[in-house]
A = this chain, B = another copy of it.
Amino acid sequence: MYPVMVGLKERQVVRFALVGIGRAGTLHAECIVGNPDAELVYVCSRSRQTADTFAATYSARVARNIDEVLTDKSIDAILIASSTETHIEYMRAAVRAKKAILCEKPIGLDFAAVESFRNEIAETGAVIQIGFNRRFDPSHAAIHEAVRSGSIGQPEVVIVTSRDPSPESRDYHASSGGIFLDMTIHDFDMVRFILGEDPIEVYATGSVMVDPMFAEIGDLDTAMTVLKTASGALAHINNSRRASYGADRRIEAFGSAGMIQSLNMRPSLQERFNRGNTGLQVPFISDYTIRYREAFDRQLSAFISAVRGGGPLRVTFEDGRRAQILANHALNSLLSGRPEKVDYS
């Protein structure tokens, strides 16, 4: 077993270093600070000034560099929320230092490097959880559980609707690896999570409808994907980089004996009735602060539980790799204009 867990007593607080303090890093910091079983000790960032403010807000120390963190024996876990191209480098160092790792998706931009890193860690017992937070959303998890327990019979169809409120910056998208690797990767993971079966074929198409910027950087903002498994189950994902009414995250699983949906949040409980209309006020919802806030908390708790030896990792490196393989094949399908057989070997 992985040695870092040996020393952790059942209810010992897990001491974290956070690498990366952008939007995802900020949310992770809030989760750590709000979790009685976790402590945010270090914050690492390339931008020293931002890091100072950030660390002050969360009562953490700014690490001079990653080595300071990794050589600190009191640190149990590294939460990696830095830009994607740095993930593998930081994970490699953390594995060597025998720290447990919670790393944001995707694993990396260069798939050859992902495969190479996979080989390195094959026999090390490294504790790496990939940041597919949506598995921890109570409603999405309920669909997974409903399918697993047979309550909709044999699963036949999964429909995932996943639309961002609005695009990020041009820089973000230009270095994101494209819509399939950056955004749809969550939905690929949802399909695998809910069907409990790996897609063997993927077809993807798309357009630039939201902002010509996406065409300029060789990306899409509107996409559709169709996947098929060995059992014949079919999955569809539709993505957009802009939804005027806020983050739209719905999943529907349809089977031989029923259907179950995970719907969007409705933070307001008011319903209004006027002449010719009735309305339910739905304030614009963001993913980070509202929709998946609880999922991020639960993701952290699950990681802490695994680090303490209290249970298996709920999202593995291999889960991260397979979703990324699907993203790669989706991109290939887009480029080739035809469906692609999926090779996970």
Contacts and interface: CB of A to CB of B under 8 A. Distances in A.
A282 interface: yes
A289 B242 CA distance: 35
Contact of A244 (B238, B267, B275): B275
A213 to B, nearest CB: 15
Contacts of A208: 232
A270 to B, nearest CB: 5
Q: Which of A154, A222, A242 has the most CB of B within 10 A?
A: A222
Nearest to A271: B261
A233 B222 CA distance: 9
Interface residues of A, number: 70
Interface string A200-221: 0101011111100000000000
A206 B271 CA distance: 26
A280 B280 contact: yes
Nearest to A337: B339
A45 interface: no
A260 interface: yes
Contacts of A259: 243-245, 248, 272-273
A248 B335 CA distance: 34
A105 interface: no
Number of copies of this chain that the complex holds: 4
A121 to B, nearest CB: 36
A156 B222 contact: yes
A277 to B, nearest CB: 6
B203 A269 contact: no
Contacts of A234: 205-207, 222-224, 238
A238 B236 contact: yes
Interface of A: 138-139, 142-143, 146, 151, 153-154, 156-157, 159, 161, 163, 201, 203, 205-210, 222-224, 226, 228, 232-234, 236, 238, 240, 242-245, 248, 254, 256-284, 337-339
17 contacts: A138-B268, A139-B268, A142-B281, A157-B224, A205-B226, A207-B234, A223-B234, A224-B236, A234-B238, A236-B238, A245-B274, A245-B278, A260-B271, A261-B273, A263-B271, A277-B279, A338-B338
